[in-house]
Structure 1
Amino acid sequence: MDDHFQEGIIYGGFVRKGDNGEILVYGLNSFVDDETRNRILLRPAPYQGIRFLQDHAKGKPSRFLGVEAQAKGNRSEGLNALSVDYWQKSFDMNDPEFSRAMNAFLPIFLDMFNGFNTKTITFEADTSHDSITREIGYTERYDHSTGNRAHYHVRRSDETNGFHQQMIRMAMVYRRPRMRFSLFEQKIMRAALAGRTDQEIAALLDVSRDAVKQCWRGIYTHAAEMVPGFFGTSENAPDPTRRGPEKRRILLAHIRDNI
């Protein structure tokens, strides 16, 4: 699934016990259009997210939104998040290890939604976890016709109360981007954040190295125009005439601090 993470289609992470210990909890998330979301809720069935994931991995027509469709949703009324897969070790809820695992997973959960204009979240779970799922903040339950599983759903417009329910609200907070980079510019910066060199970025995006360098120049110009003083002239920031590598360092540091 690494390619799909890189392409920005599926998001997720996991918490491991120790550096190489057992996985305690993991989650995968993606985004779907209104039609798919409505179909899931009208005809909920067990492990739909897993089936979508399998079809996607096999190259079949995907239910998941690509980067362009996600960007369009961000600019309009918002996106429908679908919890594609979620698993956690069986815990005693009073076990301190459970609290540690959940506290460690919370930043991962929030990071799945960071930067997205999320209007709904749909999550599938065993109905034996109903009280916990409700406490987290899911407001609607759609039972499957067979078995003991259900889809849970929450809208950004739903009213919720309580500390735990506010956690899911945090996932649905959206701040409009300040700089509005193009999709190609975003791909270059995402690759740079992953530690790739310009040569590696060029190979990844199937363009020339000169095209990457030209795009970086456009990125610096755009950032300076959208946020005057971004590359500042104080003693702690470089002069705008400084060379590209220093501007890149400042820009990527800013992105890391705000994603």
Structure 2
Amino acid sequence: MRYRLVQEEDLPACLDLLDSNGRCVLSPRVRANLPRLWADWLAQDRHAPKSFVLWEDLSSPNAPRVEAIGTAHFVHDAVYDLLMREPQPYLIERLYSMVLDGHQPFLDQREIAHGNAGEGLSLLMSLYLQREHDLDHPDSQRLRPLGAAAWYFCHAGFNVQRMLSEVYGRPGGAYMAAGGFELAQVFEAGPDLPPDSEPHQLAIDRANQPPRAMQPLSLWLLHPPPPVLGLSASLQTVAILALQGDTDRAIAARLGISADAVKQAWRGILRTMSAHMPDLCRDTTNATADGSPPVRGSEHRRIVIEYLRQHMEELRPWSDPTRAARRAPSPATPRPR
């Protein structure tokens, strides 16, 4: 079992799981447009990584078989306020109905960067479905630690101010409550839906937490430090895809660039790391002779990848207004007449 970010070619399998699970009710209009809406979202901002994850079983007789899918969106604060003020079931239905009506509830990368460097972001965990809905099923047990790992991969390092999540059934709601979420609303499920289909919406808001609160989510994303490396968006994307195990060739195919461009991106990442942290790849075991290069090539890259895995804030969009102000040219001095 593993998790990875969804690509456009994965969408048929994701839609199949959505339909076979049967607990997320969509209108005919949203369901008919969902393949296009998902594909447009994945392509947005030059294929910057999105919080759209699948979990797949590589040991199944029908491997790889998608076992679970999950989506999350950063939304405008006004959209979040509306969803909390006027709750309705099926967040994904409501969000994509807004899009089809000509509105844009989702933040783009530039807006995410501003919110990340500012007061924080509003995050909607709009969909999570498993093939085996029973949390006691062996496949669910195998998914559980990978769910936490995928959550960290997608959201650690973001300055999240508040979150709203939707799950289906009482066991799912209890599981989210154990992670620090507070129940916001429970809706009735239709009589034709499978058991344990009641939509549960749960929320967590940093403003309602005691100062320096210690609870599960505070360890990961409620108080991230600002980045120090200043990696560009393109370098961040290459590094994130490498973190999930993609090869250079796979990264190139996903982003529609050449393998040489990926290698050039890695040179930029390694150069930046060496400039900011020259001791990161220094040999501390005295295994190399004095003056010799400590590490090279794939070994250097492996060390850098592990550092970035521990500091995900370096891979998140960030727009520091004070830094921009420092870069702005000063007004020209008026010439005397």
The residue correspondences of 1:180-219 to structure 2 (distance < 5 A) are: 180-193=230-243, 194-197=246-249, 200=252, 204-205=256-257, 209=260, 213=264, 216-219=266-269
The answer as to whether partners of 1:44 and 1:150 remain within 8 angstroms in 2 is no
Q: Does the aligned pair in 2 maintain the 1:31–1:80 contact within 8 Å? A: yes
Deviation at 1:200, TM superposition (A): 3.1
1:8 matched to 2:8? The reply is: no
Q: Which residue in 1 is equivalent to 2:325?
A: none
Q: Which residue of 1 aligns with 2:13?
A: none
Tell me the equivalent position of 1:231.
281
Deviations 1:199-218 (A, max 9, x none): 93797258x957963x5444
**Distance in 2 separating the partners of 1:114 and 1:13:** 18
Is residue 91 of structure 1 aligned with residue 134 of structure 2?
yes
Greater shift, 128-137 or 31-40, is seen at 128-137
- Which residue pairs with 1:166 in the alignment? 215
SS in 1 for 2:248: coil
Deviation at 1:14, TM superposition (A): 2.5
Higher CA-based Rg: 2
Cα distance, 1:55 vs structure 2: 7.6
CA displacement at 1:127 relative to structure 2 = 6.8
Taking the TM superposition and a 5 Å limit, the aligned residue runs for 1:68-217 are 68-88=110-130, 89-91=132-134, 98-126=140-168, 128=170, 130-142=173-185, 149-159=199-209, 166-173=215-222, 174-193=224-243, 194-197=246-249, 200=252, 204-205=256-257, 209=260, 213=264, 216-217=266-267
User: What is the deviation of 1:119?
Assistant: 1.7
Unpaired segments of 5 or more residues in structure 2? 1-5, 9-41, 191-197, 313-337
Shift, 1:84, TM fit: 1.8
C-alpha distance in 2 between matches for 1:198 and 1:243? 22
Quote the offset at 1:243 in angstroms: 6.3
Mapped contact 1:15–1:101 kept (Cα < 8 A): no
Q: Would the alpha carbon gap of residues 236 and 120 (structure 1) be closer, same or farther in structure 2, given more than 3 Å must change?
A: farther
> Within 1, Cα distance between the matches of 2:67 and 2:251?
38
Rate the CA distance shift 1:224–1:239 in 2: closer, same or farther, 3 A. farther
CA distance in 1, matches of 2:139, 2:155: 25
The answer to whether the 8 Å contact 2:180/2:217 transfers is: yes
Task: Report the CA distance between 1:34 and its aligned residue.
Answer: 0.9
Q: Distance in 2 between matches of 1:236 and 1:195?
A: 29
2:124 and 2:163 in contact (8 A); partners too: yes
SS in 1 for 2:162: strand
Provide the C-alpha distance between the structure 1 equivalents of 2:218 and 2:54, rounded to a whole number of angstroms: 20
CA shift, 1:154, in A, is: 0.5
* 5+ residue gaps, structure 1: none
Q: TM-score, normalised by structure 2?
A: 0.57
Q: Decide whether aligned partners of structure 1 residues 132 and 245 sit closer, same or farther in structure 2, where only a CA change above 3 A counts.
A: closer
Two-structure CA RMSD over aligned residues (Å):
4.3
Question: Percent of counterpart pairs with the same letter?
Answer: 19
**Counterparts of 2:153 and 2:241, CA distance in 1:** 17
Query: Would you say the 8 A contact 1:78–1:119 is kept in 2?
Result: yes
Q: 1:32, 1:82 within 8 Å by CA — same for their partners in 2?
A: yes
Could you list the per-position Cα deviations for residues 79-133 of structure 1 after superposition, in whole angstroms to 9, with x for gaps in the alignment?
222112112333265x666544434422223333122122211012347455554
1:7 to partner: Cα distance: 2.5
Provide TM-score, normalisation by structure 1. Answer: 0.71
